[in-house]
Homo-oligomer: A and B are copies of this chain.
């Protein structure tokens, strides 16, 4: 069994039963208790369960039910999956950039509390990360955009110019293989374009609802992307196209 499969199995079991002992997981997964303990440590850091002496407890039922605003979010489960996958790309010490998308917000909530520098224009991301002490959070500032609870405009772009980051994680309204990533709002698009220009590696978080869509404003050509994380399974033809552009695609 793959290690990731075991992780999934453990989380599943914990959520199913509410709580479970290390010893039980050990026999169920056919690995020693030590291994299970190490797994639980990681899963706890990843925010997928809670450790307790002797075993682990589920986060479900305990965490406040998803707030009103969140229930309306499209493809929430897929976005969460994409966010989890994206978090796995992050190493301690990384300087990363998160945009004001829902998926980036999910990423923030799944980020382990490790030394990191996070630059963002999202209030929600900043607020979420305020609870993680080891993470250095920097906000771009700028004009408040109510709809996305983020900062845009000249000041936001100007602030971004001061920095350089290892990885940028962002989402958009639409993603089209030939036409690239696009956004419905001009101000948001401008901020994202600036973000791309200061990032070493550009990672698009793209749930299936965005595939094949072209929105109002151009944000990035496909070749500007380095990685696409998605729950959509592209056709063989499309995969070849991405390969030719040297873009890694991760399907969750």
Residues of A within 8 A of B (CB): 2-5, 8, 18-21, 50, 52-55, 57, 123, 126-127, 129-130, 133, 136-144, 146, 149, 151, 155-156, 158-159, 162
Contacts and interface: CB of A to CB of B under 8 A. Distances in A.
Given A3-B52, A159-B155, A141 B142 contact: yes
Contact of A141 (B8, B18, B156): B156
A126 B142 CA distance: 11
A50 B143 CA distance: 30
A229 B155 CA distance: 32
A2 B144 contact: no
Contact of A4 (B50, B136, B137, B159): B50
A3 B20 CA distance: 11
Contacts of A52: 2-5
Given A136-B143, A141-B141, A141-B156, 13 more contacts: A2-B20, A2-B53, A5-B18, A5-B19, A5-B52, A123-B123, A129-B144, A136-B144, A137-B143, A138-B141, A139-B142, A155-B159, A158-B162
A129 B149 CA distance: 11
Contacts of A158: 162
B144 A141 contact: no
Contacts of A137: 143-144
A2 B151 contact: no
A142 B127 CA distance: 14
A110 to B, nearest CB: 19
Contact of A151 (B21, B129, B141, B156): B141
A54 B2 contact: yes
Contact of A138 (B3, B18, B143, B162): B143
A130 B146 contact: yes
Given A2-B54, A4-B50, A19-B4, A139 B144 contact: yes
Given A5-B19, A52-B3, A159 B141 contact: yes
A110 B11 CA distance: 27
